[in-house]
Structure 1
């Protein structure tokens, strides 16, 4: 009888677990991803709706710090260093807080994103950028709280905050000029040692033109003041596979000496094993 009761209880609990009712969230989560110039910008936030309520000055009081959304604090992520309100921000994620006013808002970028709503204790030292933004009155209602990335240019954009009859714009700048110039200089200067190395190793692994692989690995090595042991290791493998056992042995010895100097015993053993296979030990 006890076993029967236990079985029934287990079945009932399992049924309840499977019968969890899913209902719409009153403030659904949203994720916005936008490329601004060459920088990736992501906004993650929850979106409450008016539902016939008075928002600013009532539900969201004037002069108090607001999570700028609902539930967990709004998080903005930049893939590059950017500039907000004249302040340089390192790439990474920031919580977005605001202090709404009738005519102006204070906008805060806060470097602690692990808060549910407002921080339990506001820490001014965590405010890495502060912007004063004018609040504009819209000629219509925006039912659902919205953050957009608008006013896009190659060098920046704005975070647009919309709700009720209020619009606030927070401009930011991205380093498109610097990144583009760096890319141009890299391409115009030709491949670097890493490019030649990667191409050579790929040809080795895929059994492609080994003469070309050897040409590229030689260029990679020649561009290094002290070629690293791992690069020399790959050169020795390319030489051996291309039929130059004598050259492979010489390069493997150089790789082993460099590995010993760097304290990397794994590569010392790899080179020793290859030298044994090639009859040099």
Structure 2
């Protein structure tokens, strides 16, 4: 009987242990993912978020002059859908591990490493670094948990920030969005060379970004041939003013104003600005 009782107890305990293994508990450093689209490029940071928990972080929990995994648990990973530049250094599209080298008395280093399968800093080898970028830590409001976040997001650039305890570091990420747009634009126009709306849209992008002026002129001239509207003539006026050909800008602006529908709300809203620009161009031309 004692043997049978022991067997039953062992079975019960074993069953209980098996059930306990399925018990869900929150991680000490929860998983987090943040993604930002910069122009046409997606940037994703996949990391774990350690907490301060009444500890001194910089110089103690995270020692100075030692490479740190910039998070918790396995590698902090950053993925770029297209090539970018960080601190003026080229970074091809792909996935990289993130490390930081903090210092007590000089700039820190933001590091991208090509090996993405390490546990934290274990096995880190500087020969696998893709880039190292100096960063200046700044005092910041208290962040109990480590946080990656984006700021100053523009069409071709954004800042990636890392904040923890009372410090923040950031790096500027730049994308070559115009190159991607140009390639897509040229392919679209090649497929639909007689679409005035597409041609005007392409010219407008080039004018707004002040690139490829001759291509913009080619597109807007063709758009006007297909649709001699006030909007297309106004686009051409803006382009010619950018090229400092103010006589041509004046000619196109006058035609745009003549073609505009005085009862159209959009035109009525634009008209004061068009007249003001026309006056300014006249002062420069004559």
Is the shorter-chain TM-score for this pair beyond 0.5, marking a shared fold?
A: yes
C-alpha distance in 2, partners of 1:90/1:3?
66
C-alpha distance in 2, partners of 1:52/1:58?
12
Q: How far has the Cα of 1:18 moved from its partner? A: 2.5
Q: How far has the Cα of 1:33 moved from its partner? A: 1.8
Residue 138 of structure 2: which of 136, 151, 163 is its match? 136
Name the residue aligned to 1:18: 19
C-alpha distance in 1, partners of 2:183/2:10?
67
Over residues 166-187 of structure 1, what are the superposed CA-to-partner deviations in whole Å (9 max), with x where a residue is unaligned?
A: 0111111112111111111111
Tell me, yes or no, if the aligned pair for 1:85 and 1:129 is still in contact at 8 Å: no
Local SS of the residue matching 2:191: coil
**TM-score, with length taken from structure 2:** 0.61
Out of 14-23 and 58-67, give the one that drifted further: 14-23
- List structure 1 runs of 4+ shifted beyond 4 angstroms: 1-12
Gaps of 5+ in 1: 192-281
Q: Aligned residues, how many? A: 189
Local SS of the residue matching 1:141: strand
Name the residue aligned to 1:208: none
Over residues 64-83 of structure 1, what are the superposed CA-to-partner deviations in whole Å (9 max), with x where a residue is unaligned?
A: 11000111111000011111
Residues 182-261 of structure 1 aligned to structure 2 (within 5 Å) = 182-190=183-191
Q: How far has the Cα of 1:34 moved from its partner? A: 1.7
Q: How far has the Cα of 1:151 moved from its partner? A: 1.6
Over residues 5-25 of structure 1, what are the superposed CA-to-partner deviations in whole Å (9 max), with x where a residue is unaligned?
A: 878866653443223332221
Over residues 189-246 of structure 1, what are the superposed CA-to-partner deviations in whole Å (9 max), with x where a residue is unaligned?
A: 107xxxxxxxxxxxxxxxxxxxxxxxxxxxxxxxxxxxxxxxxxxxxxxxxxxxxxxx
Residue 109 of structure 2: which of 106, 111, 129 is its match? 106
Local SS of the residue matching 1:17: helix
**TM-score, with length taken from structure 1:** 0.62
Local SS of the residue matching 2:136: strand
Q: Kindly indicate whether residue 70 of structure 2 is the aligned counterpart of residue 73 of structure 1.
A: no
Q: Kindly indicate whether residue 54 of structure 2 is the aligned counterpart of residue 45 of structure 1.
A: no
Name the residue aligned to 1:125: 127
Give the direction of change, closer, same or farther, for the CA distance of 1:87–1:9 in structure 2 (3 Å limit): same
RMSD across aligned C-alpha pairs, in angstroms? Answer: 2.2
Tell me, yes or no, if the aligned pair for 1:30 and 1:47 is still in contact at 8 Å: yes
Over residues 73-98 of structure 1, what are the superposed CA-to-partner deviations in whole Å (9 max), with x where a residue is unaligned?
A: 11000011111122111111000001
Q: How far has the Cα of 1:57 moved from its partner? A: 1.1
C-alpha distance in 1, partners of 2:70/2:90?
22
C-alpha distance in 2, partners of 1:63/1:150?
28
C-alpha distance in 2, partners of 1:6/1:81?
63
Local SS of the residue matching 2:179: helix
C-alpha distance in 1, partners of 2:5/2:63?
58
C-alpha distance in 2, partners of 1:50/1:24?
17
Name the residue aligned to 1:85: 87
C-alpha distance in 1, partners of 2:139/2:9?
61
C-alpha distance in 1, partners of 2:56/2:188?
56
Over residues 31-67 of structure 1, what are the superposed CA-to-partner deviations in whole Å (9 max), with x where a residue is unaligned?
A: 1122111011111111011111111011111111100
C-alpha distance in 1, partners of 2:84/2:181?
15
